[in-house]
Amino acid sequence: MSTVDRPDSRGYFGGYGGKFVPETLMAALDELEHAYREACADRGFQNEFKQLCRDYIGRPTPLYYARQLSEHARGAVILLKREDLAHTGAHKINNAVGQALLARRMGKKRVIAETGAGQHGVATAAACALLGLDAIVYMGEVDIERQSPNVHRMKLMGAEVHGVASGSRTLKDAINEAIRDWVTNVGDTYYLLGSVVGPHPYPLLVRDFQSVIGQETREQMLAEYKRLPDYLVACVGGGSNSIGLFHPFFHDGEVEFVGVEAAGRGLATKQHAAPLTAGKVGVLHGAKSYLMEDDNGQISETHSIAPGLDYPGVGPEHSYYKDTSRARYVAVTDEQAVEGFRLLCATEGIIPALEPAHAIYHAAQMAADLPAEKIIVVNLSGRGDKDLDIIARFTGEKI
């Protein structure tokens, strides 16, 4: 786990982050920060996390040369960091196991979480089953319908799944309900937040647990290629898989970061989820960052074919990366993401989740314009069996 660099002591990455929460939660956040600092200094805690990463999650995940995809692009080499091969099928398990260990350490038996694509909910259910904790997962009704296989997986592992009927009935509203629960039950409940969003210290600790992705990528690149990659590409919703890949390379200026947001039906339609590409600065879910809002300052409804990207905000560290030009952010439409999905299936026999399919599409476009000696690493943050029904409906096919 890495605790170097930003945020500062108040939880700010430059001008982004902080704690914008009810007074009821300030003591809980201070308690969490103190517990996390103690855990970072505890070799036993770190060793248990590393052991579970190896024996339970299945780390390290491979850094795979996508030969056919690279040849299709006829340009740069494309490597895939295979987080889809981690236990439960996505990167979310890294953070879920780390925070579940922290909850147990703090004596919290009741764990709540939010989920959009369902992968964080599944990971939370798995980690809580492993450690003997009670799991309650909030999920928007729209996402329950389009990610029903993951709902069944959560229930099989003993989690309660609470449908959220308010607002757009997607990830934003699931977070709202989880926060309401936490405010009401703050004494005995641990909120296992799934991304690098929310009030400090969540963006820090989620980033640190997910940094195992970038740390492994660095080691694998140096071992196999004797150098660092030229580009790191990852999808960005809240932003945990991308920060997990990017952060360990923060000081390597020769490595360019590219974050891929969801353009949905097109940026001009405003039916998208691209706050870094086409949003404004504001406060959402306890932190200051880029977000999507209407002319009256109200949070806008979002759209993405990928449930895990269907969120109107983004983590404060990404906002800092944008303003300092440490990363550049682009947006890919639903149609382009489906093209990326099909491209990886056809060239590599790998079915990606719709979230990283956005990054696959953009990386293939990038590779075509780059010389053959350049190397692009794409974070394949999840597998796509959960999305087959969405793809079928989008294309008008029958399963």
pLDDT 10s digits, 285-317:
999 999 999 888 899 999 999 999 999 999 999
User: Top-level CATH class of 13-18+25-54+91-206?
Assistant: alpha beta
Domain ranges in the chain are 13-18+25-54+91-206, 58-89+211-395
- Mean pLDDT along residues 89-101: 98
Dump pLDDT digits (tens) for 330-374. 999 999 999 999 999 999 999 999 999 999 999 999 999 999 999
Calculate mean pLDDT across residues 234-253: 98
CA distance 304 to 193: 21
Q: How far is CA 222 from CA 4, 54, 190, 225, 281, in A?
A: 22, 20, 38, 6, 38
pTM listed for this prediction: 0.96
Q: Is 273's pLDDT higher than 50?
A: yes
Lowest-pLDDT choice from 3-12, 135-144, 225-234, 289-298: 3-12
pLDDT digits (tens, 9 = 90+) for 49-80: 999 999 999 999 999 999 999 999 999 999 99
Residue 109 has pLDDT above 70, yes or no: yes
How far apart are the C-alpha atoms of 151 and 164, rounded to whole Å? 13
Q: Which residues have a catalytic role annotated?
A: 92, 114, 381
Spell out the SS3 assignment of the chain.
CCCCCCCCCCCEECCEECCCCCHHHHHHHHHHHHHHHHHHCCHHHHHHHHHHHHHHHCCCCCEEECHHHHHHHCCCEEEEEEHHHCHHHECHHHHHHHHHHHHHHCCCCEEEEEECCCHHHHHHHHHHHHHCCEEEEEEEHHHHHHCHHHHHHHHHCCCEEEEECCCCCCHHHHHHHHHHHHHHCCCCEEECCCCCCCCCCHHHHHHHHHCHHHHHHHHHHHHHHCCCCCEEEEECCCCHHHHHHHHHHCCCCCCEEEEEEEEECCHHHCCCECHHHHCEEEEECCEEEEECECCCCCECCCCCCCHHHCCCECCHHHHHHHHCCCEEEEEEEHHHHHHHHHHHHHHHCCCECHHHHHHHHHHHHHHHCCCCCCEEEEEECEECHHHHHHHHHHHCCCC
pLDDT at 3: 47
| Cβ neighbourhood burial of 24 (10 Å; 0-12, 13-18, 19+) | exposed
Answer whether residue 272 shows pLDDT above 50.
yes
How many Å apart are CA 40 and CA 18, to the nearest integer?
A: 21
CATH topology of domain 58-89+211-395: Rossmann fold (3.40.50)
First and final C-alpha spacing in the chain: 42
pLDDT of res. 399: 62
> Residue 4 above 60 pLDDT?
no
**Does 89 score more than 60 pLDDT?**
yes
Answer for the pair 314, 290: CB distance below 8 angstroms, yes or no: yes
Residue pair 150/88 in contact by the 8 Å Cβ criterion: no
